Amino acid sequence: MTTVKEILAQMSNSTPEDTALIEKAYAFGLKAHEGHTRYSGEPYFIHPTAVAKYLAEFGMDAPTIAAALLHDAIEDAKATPEEVEKEFGKEVLFLVEGVTKLGKHKYQGGERHAESLRRLLVATSADVRVLIIKLADRYHNMTTIEHVPEHKRRRIAIETLEIYAPIADRLGIGRLKRELEDLSFPVVDPDAYQHAVEVSKLKSKETEQGLLRVQKDLRHALVRKKIQDFSTSIRTKGLWSLHQKLKRKNDDITQIHDIAALRVIVPTVDDCYSVLGIIHSLWKPLPGEFKDYIAFPKPNGYQSLHTTVLTADAGIVEMQVRTQEMHARAQFGIASHMSYKQLGKAAPKGAFQRLSFPWIRDLVPTLLNFRKAAVPAPASVPHKQKPGSDIPRWLTELADAHAAVAGTQDFVDGLKSDFFSHRVFVFTPTGDVIDLPVQSTPADFAYAIHSDLGNHMNGAKVNGKLVSFDTALRNGDVVEILTRESAHPTAKWLEYAKTSMAKRHIRNALEQFAPKAPVVEEKPAKKKRASKKRLK
Ligand code: MN
């Protein structure tokens, strides 16, 4: 079992308070999971400690690591939320409960799927650390998947490939993306996995010696050109990623040039371009294959120079040039932006939350696209949903709203004009999500679902309790509208409604049901309030 020392050893710059928090969480988790075992028969606490160590490697802050140690203590073990809050405070409890909630929602067909995506968005829009813990949790569970009962393995692996790996990619956590993919791949499609393994082996054998010679030549050239402290390495392509590329190239191995690539890491951006010049003077670049991701970073923040050159020793070789900082970001993504190492002790309270907003807005199109990534479905596992029915409407609308604001936001300062900061997500009793502007009320909710529902609204419940029609809804509320056939809107409802759609429906209904009513107004609601004041 990972010891508390091993976890602490991964944390640089930790304060005595950080250390005390981790030690306390470790002791608490150990006790809470006493007698509790994994599928493998090993002590359960092996799992939370492994997740905590992994997050410490990523440079996550102490509350995140403490929450990782406690992340299954409420759901699976004996701890209560009250205890966790009393011992560790609100912040840690929030993170633990965020992960717990996600875990309860198993992926099953389109609806459950939409459900789990929605939960993910709601929890993460409050604090992205919830999702990072969840990703690390999934990573460790995938490393021990052989102990999971066979009938569950495939579902977990597909979910990992379809949801968690794309999210890790979107977060720029390249290392985690690749690990999640390559752990899931053999479970999801063993034959294709074997094929990819063989192709990869064959190709590496062919080019290994040649690549080593190319690497040596390059190192000598860099030294001659006085490039200071560089490092080079040969990286091989992930197997899932290779599989995707093989499919795109109709299984033509000769079309794939990046199974092994040569990577150069240098101190500065200037050095990157110098190294590129040296590479191009040694070997001829293939036209159209050069990509400057330094000047034009990928949407997930990835930066590097990529070029593909023709060498005598190893044939066509891809080269990647980047700084140490870019390399760290390529591996750890958002975690490297968010770590206590970067934010420092002076990081304002809530810094993490602020960082999460622009990011999650960007995530939405990724979630929309992941369905397009074809995961082979053997005949034994029938597809439960109709094609096209798997993308919930609300998510499409979110993506549209995203498109409208994309590119206008600064990474950290964008919060105020951010889409998510102006929306609340509330649920119908059956679990559908309705997203509404902040300050929306049950009246807005009812009309957002259907004008009939709004027009016959007789009462409203929020989280099972009767509320007045002007109650402001909050993220995560479950809202139920009670109807009566004889109920109709009154002019008062125009004050309850905040959305223009609801107001429009109410005005229409007022005309229809009481055409002579003196309160019917053509003017927008603002004017109405003003005129009311005058009456007083
Ligand atoms: Mn877990």
Q: Is 480 helix (H, G, I), strand (E, B) or coil?
A: strand
Question: Using 50, 70 and 90 to split pLDDT, how confident is the model at 388?
Answer: very low
Q: Which of 260-274, 309-323, 334-348 has the lowest mean pLDDT?
A: 334-348
Q: Which has the higher per-residue pLDDT, 352 or 436? A: 436
Q: Which has the higher per-residue pLDDT, 428 or 61? A: 61
Assess whether pLDDT exceeds 80 at residue 14. Answer: yes
Tens digits of residue pLDDT in 230-254: 999 998 899 999 999 999 988 888 8
Cα–Cα dist 150/362, whole Å: 35
Report pLDDT for 460. Answer: 96
Assess whether pLDDT exceeds 70 at residue 186. Answer: yes
Closest CA to 66 of 40, 102, 90, 44: 90
Please tell me the distance between residue 302's alpha carbon and the centre of ligand 1 in angstroms: 29
Q: Which two tokens stand for residue 40?
A: 């493998």
Closest CA to 456 of 431, 490, 494, 432: 490
Closest CA to 92 of 167, 17, 168, 169: 17
- Residues sharing a CB contact under 8 Å with residue 173, sequence separation 6 or more, in sequence order: 58, 135, 331, 332, 333, 334, 335
Question: Using 50, 70 and 90 to split pLDDT, how confident is the model at 386?
Answer: very low
Question: Which residues lie across from 43 on neighbouring strands?
Answer: 37
Cα–Cα dist 467/414, whole Å: 34
Quote the pTM value.
0.63
SS3 content of the chain, % helix, strand, coil (to 5): 55, 10, 30
Report pLDDT for 76. Answer: 72
- Residues sharing a CB contact under 8 Å with residue 283, sequence separation 6 or more, in sequence order: 309, 310, 311, 317
Q: Is 388 left (phi over 0), alpha (psi -120 to 50) or beta?
A: left
Measured in Å, how far apart are the chain's first and last C-alpha atoms?
72
Cα–Cα dist 257/381, whole Å: 34
Eight-state DSSP code of residue 522 = S
Assess whether pLDDT exceeds 60 at residue 341. Answer: no
Report pLDDT for 159. Answer: 79
Cα–Cα dist 351/211, whole Å: 44
Report pLDDT for 515. Answer: 56
Q: What is the mean pLDDT of the chain?
A: 77
Question: Using 50, 70 and 90 to split pLDDT, how confident is the model at 357?
Answer: very low
* Average pLDDT of span 301-319: 91
* Average pLDDT of span 269-280: 96
Instruction: List the catalytic residue out of 57, 76, 325, 495.
Output: 76
Amino acid letter, 440:
S
Eight-state DSSP code of residue 299 = T
Tens digits of residue pLDDT in 137-155: 999 999 999 998 888 898 8
Please tell me the distance between residue 391's alpha carbon and the centre of ligand 1 in angstroms: 27
Q: Which has the higher per-residue pLDDT, 230 or 112? A: 230
Please tell me the distance between residue 13's alpha carbon and the centre of ligand 1 in angstroms: 27
CA 363 vs CA 94, 125, 356, 359, 398: distances in Å = 22, 11, 10, 6, 10
Report pLDDT for 122. Answer: 59
Assess whether pLDDT exceeds 70 at residue 107. Answer: no
Is residue 368 within 8 A of residue 398, CB to CB? The reply is: no
Please tell me the distance between residue 137's alpha carbon and the centre of ligand 1 in angstroms: 5
Report pLDDT for 336. Answer: 65
Cα–Cα dist 449/423, whole Å: 16
Report pLDDT for 77. Answer: 74
Tens digits of residue pLDDT in 56-70: 988 888 999 999 999
435 among known catalytic residues:
no
Please tell me the distance between residue 159's alpha carbon and the centre of ligand 1 in angstroms: 15
Q: Which domains does the chain have, with CATH numbers?
A: 4-185 (1.10.3210.10), 191-333 (3.30.460.10), 358-513 (3.10.20.30)
Please tell me the distance between residue 40's alpha carbon and the centre of ligand 1 in angstroms: 14
Instruction: Identify the helix (H) or strand (E) that includes residue 458.
Output: strand 457-462
Q: Which has the higher per-residue pLDDT, 435 or 423? A: 435
Please tell me the distance between residue 112's alpha carbon and the centre of ligand 1 in angstroms: 20
Is residue 88 within 8 A of residue 24, CB to CB? The reply is: yes
Assess whether pLDDT exceeds 90 at residue 355. Answer: no
76 among known catalytic residues:
yes
H-helix segments, 225-282: 239-248, 269-282
Instruction: List the catalytic residue out of 57, 75, 217, 325.
Output: 75
Q: Which of 121-130, 213-222, 343-352, 526-535 has the lowest mean pLDDT?
A: 343-352
* Average pLDDT of span 59-82: 89
Report pLDDT for 64. Answer: 93
**With pLDDT > 70 as the criterion, what percentage of the chain qualifies?**
73
Assess whether pLDDT exceeds 90 at residue 392. Answer: no
Q: Is 344 left (phi over 0), alpha (psi -120 to 50) or beta?
A: left
Neighbours of 198 (CB within 10 A): 10
CA 167 vs CA 116, 174, 238: distances in Å = 13, 10, 17
Question: Using 50, 70 and 90 to split pLDDT, how confident is the model at 380?
Answer: very low
Is residue 264 within 8 A of residue 307, CB to CB? The reply is: no
Torsion of CA 247, 251, 252, 253, to 10 degrees: 90
Amino acid letter, 524:
P
